Amino acid sequence: MIMETPQQNRCGEHCSIIETAAKILSEYPLCDRCLGRVFAKKGIELSNEERGRAIKTLLAMKLYADYTSEIIDAEYIGKIASNTGDPVTRLYRKITDREISVNPCYICLHRVSSDYIDEIARRVAVKLSELNASSFIIGVKLDSEVVKKELDVHVLAGLESSESLKNELKREIGKRVTQLTNIPPDFDKPDVVVIVDVNKDFDYSIQTQVNPILLKAIYFKRGRRISHVPWFTSNGSRKYPESIQDFIRDSIARLFDARDIKIHAAGREDVDARMLGSGRPLVIEVKEPGFRNVDLDLLNYILDDQFIKVSVIGAATRRDIESIKEGSRKRRKIYRVAVLTEKPVSEGDLEKLSSFFKERSVKQRTPTRILRRKKDRERIKRVYRIEVISISSRVFEALIYCDGGLYVKELVHCDNGRTTPCFSEILGTPAYPLELDVLYIEKTWDK
Ligand SMILES: [Zn+2]
């Protein structure tokens, strides 16, 4: 058994690079960069172009040595030279005194060069500056034929140390864009996603997708008949004059030079209910913004109107949208409701009402008024307590501390027995909700 010395081992690896390169280049023509990519995991701080060039130089040296030892002939060198180019073509010319043409790179047709990458990066830089981007990410789409050809080469080389062209383009274009613009890449939350779409002839197009700005906010409705989003009747006219989404869009879309604005809220109150006190959490989605850095104080100044006020707290994430939607039903609420009764009610009746609704479970079937859009089912919600103040013999005001998702109007009027127990039942006379306000929502934004 022959023990290999460490020197032989090292040579073994490097010699195998040359042998693999010779094997590939006797079959496929490759430019320096595409050859270097086959060995991308060999060595660090080297570009693939440098790797490919070095391997070709060593290969030329080995071919010359083999030629002088008469292991190979000029014809073999010619075959390798037409697939390799310089410096093997120089060697061939020197030993044969004949010209030889070089075949286009099997993978990139000799199109992918530093100039090619620079040209793409410059066009990307212009787009990013037009979009006022402060971060970006590059995606590359390669024609499937190119991907297949690259795989042919990498499979022949044994795959283990190769890098894909797609990956190299992404990295090199990204690096160059940052050099040109000082805009850093952001792999998690880029302002702009740039897609470079490369066809089989290596012509390319550049598409950009501008990510939305998400803002964490709280809204207050100081007026009634205000919906979340515009609400249209079947004949196309507006059912309510104002919506929170329209108010926000009309107020700030131009400030961001945005295509559109959408809101994501944690549940909703009835259109005719006000939202006071703690306000309700909201995420504002600013779509395709042209400007991204708008002053928070300015936003909050603009978003404070007579009937609607929106307080923007800061940046939000997609996760925030999910979490406010998930959490909205679980948050406890405090409502204020003005109640009209058919017959006069006494202080004693009201005391009876407030002592009854202490830690009380209430069974509710889906309210009749929303049966058209929601499934009929039963739910059990808790009323923790109520506080009652008499306004006149037939009008009183109640503060209701309860679970999120309790239908308060139905708690008052019973909805023909679909909600039980209810105010009408305990008072012994039909009761009607006149006005409803949401005063408090638990944990508006989780800290
Ligand atoms: Zn190439």
> Hey, how many other C-beta atoms are within 10 angstroms of the C-beta on 83?
19
- Ligand 1 centre from 96 Cα, in Å? 27
CA distances from 388 to 109, 346, 436 (A): 83, 12, 14
Q: Is residue 262 part of a domain?
A: yes
Q: Is the pLDDT of residue 80 over 90?
A: yes
Q: What is the DSSP letter of 232?
A: B
Please write the tens of the pLDDT for every residue from 377-417. 999 999 999 999 999 999 999 999 999 889 999 999 999 99
Containing H/E element for 380? strand 378-392
Q: Is 407 annotated as a binding residue?
A: yes
Q: State which of 296, 329, 362 marks the end of a domain.
A: 329
Task: Annotate 336-346 with b (16+ C-beta within 10 A) or e (fewer).
Answer: bbbbbbeeebe
Residues 304 and 230 in one domain: yes
Spatial CA neighbour of 51 closest among 30, 37, 61, 65? 37
For the record, the structure tokens of 342 come out as 């058919």
3-state secondary structure 200-218: CCCCEEEEEEECCEEEEEE
Residue of 257, 270, 272, 305 marked active site: 270
Q: How far apart are CA 330 and CA 370, in angstroms?
A: 20
Calculate how far, in angstroms, residue 182's C-alpha sits from the geometric centre of ligand 1: 29
Tokens, residue 229: 């989003």
Are 11 and 74 found together in one domain? yes
Kindly state the average pLDDT of the residues 269-289: 94
- For residue range 29-69, what is the model confidence (pLDDT) as tens digits? 999 999 999 999 998 999 999 999 999 999 999 999 999 99
What is the count of structural domains for the chain? Answer: 4
| 156/188 same-domain check | yes
pLDDT at residue 4 in the model: 44
In tens, the pLDDT along 296-340 reads: 999 999 999 999 999 999 999 888 998 888 777 778 999 999 999
Please count the other Cβ atoms lying within 10 Å of the Cβ belonging to residue 108.
22
Looking at 178, 209, 240, the residue that finishes a domain is 209
pLDDT of residue 328: 73
Same domain, 320 and 218: yes
Q: Is 28 annotated as a binding residue?
A: no
Whether residues 129 and 177 share a domain: the answer is: yes
Q: In Å, what is the CA distance from 152 to each residue of 18, 48, 111?
A: 18, 18, 19
Q: What is the pLDDT of residue 7?
A: 44
In this structure, the answer to whether residues 301 and 236 fall within a common structural domain is yes
Give me the pLDDT at residue 234, please: 85
**What torsion do the CA atoms of 142, 143, 144, 146 make, to the nearest 10 degrees?**
-80
314 and 370 share a domain?
Answer: no
Going from the Cα of 109 to the center of ligand 1, the distance in angstroms, rounded, reads 6
Q: Is there a domain that residue 379 lies in? A: yes
- Average pLDDT over all residues of the chain: 92
Average pLDDT of the segment spanning 217-243: 90
**Cα-to-centroid distance, 192 and ligand 1 (Å):** 29
CA of 302 to the centre of ligand 1 (A): 55
- In this structure, the strands spanning 260-265 and 204-210 are unpaired
Tell me which DSSP letter residue 220 carries: E
**In which domain, by residue range, is 240 found?**
213-329
My answer on whether 129 and 118 are in the same domain is yes
Pairing mode, strands 274-287 and 431-441: parallel
Is 182 found in the same domain as 122? yes
From 153, 180, 209, the end of a domain falls on 209
246 domain residue, yes or no: yes
Question: What was the ipTM of the complex prediction?
Answer: 0.99
User: Domain with 181 in it: what CATH number?
Assistant: 3.30.2130.30
CATH assignment of the domain containing 290: 3.30.70.2510
Residue 273 lies in a domain: yes
Verify whether residue 270 is a known catalytic residue.
yes
Whether 102 maps to a domain, the answer reads: no
- Say yes or no: 325 and 252 in one domain: yes
Judgement on whether residues 283 and 239 belong to the same structural domain of the protein: yes
User: Is the domain of 336 the same as that of 430?
Assistant: yes
pLDDT band at 2 (very low <50, low <70, confident <90, very high): very low
